[in-house]
Amino acid sequence: MGYALGIWTQRGLPVRRVSIAAAACAALPDIDLLFSPLVEHRAITHSLTFAFVIALVVAVMLFPGMKWREGRWRLAAVLGLALLSHSFLDALSRYSYGIEFFAPFSAQRYRFPWTPLGDPAGRLSRQLLQETLFVFLPALFAVWLGLRVKRSR
């Protein structure tokens, strides 16, 4: 989803660097898995605070210089949305305790009322099918459509 956000938010032809950065940001919240004994999964790294701070840091680090100065806030917003897309998709899953959207200020976890992702019986094949139908194919379609729209202009 991050790559699609990068494509849709760029003026003119998509800037590959922005799309790749947005795709990386969309995957970044699961970095908590590397520190699982120390950090709870779907806690601080899936929060609004994390998305805001990391989006600003990534925008400044990956897009330095005057060329990006005027659009850096816009880039940070795109990267923040990419980060949050991961958390929002996780909030659609029934196989978790929810997402700490307001960490570190609150440990309350949230899930959306509609949770189409995750098989309660734990069947991996069904879960992969759901992820394909509700995440991968829509993201792929969004990328394809974004590229078509950009090229037609």
pLDDT in tens, 100-141: 999 999 999 999 999 888 877 778 888 888 889 988 899 899
The values of phi and psi at residue 26, to 5°, are: -65, -30
The average pLDDT across 70-98 equals 91
Closest among 81, 88, 21 to 51, alpha carbons compared: 81
What are the distances in angstroms from CA 84 to CA 22, 48, 64? Answer: 11, 7, 23
Residue 29 confidence (pLDDT): 96
Pick from 151, 150, 147, 142: nearest CA to 4: 142
- Check residue 108 and give its pLDDT: 97
Q: What is the pLDDT of residues 8-60, one digit of tens each?
A: 887 755 578 888 999 999 999 999 999 878 889 999 999 999 999 999 999 99
Q: Looking up tokens 């994390």, which residue turns up? A: 50
Query: Residue 9's pLDDT is what?
Result: 81
Please state the separation of Cα 33 from the chain's center in Å. Answer: 16
